[in-house]
Amino acid sequence: MDENLAKVDPKLLDLLVCPLGKTRLVYSRETNELISETARLAYPIRDGIPIMLVSEARRIED
């Protein structure tokens, strides 16, 4: 398991949703981000803390 993800409570990850689309998020081990496939946004995880601000999210391009 990724060390940054290990610092985040798994129960918290089950509760988090995209603040824009209110949909579930998928953890990307490659980029260490929480991905909202519906909103096409990737929220970073910094020091084990998901940054759930749309202004901090990376737009996912095709």
Give the pairing of strands 49-50 and 41-46: antiparallel
Q: Where are the beta strands (DSSP E) in 12-57?
A: 26-28, 33-36, 41-46, 49-50
Task: Give the total number of structural domains in the chain.
Answer: 1
pLDDT at 1: 47
**Quick check: 16 pLDDT over 80?**
yes
End-to-end CA distance of the chain: 27
CATH number at residue 44: 2.20.25.10
Per the structure, the complete domain to which residue 27 belongs is given by 3-59
The whole-model pTM stands at: 0.82
The amino acid at 31:
T
- Coil, helix or strand at residue 17: strand
Query: Which comes out higher in pLDDT, residue 50 or 6?
Result: 50
Rounded CA-CA distance 5/15 in Å is 15
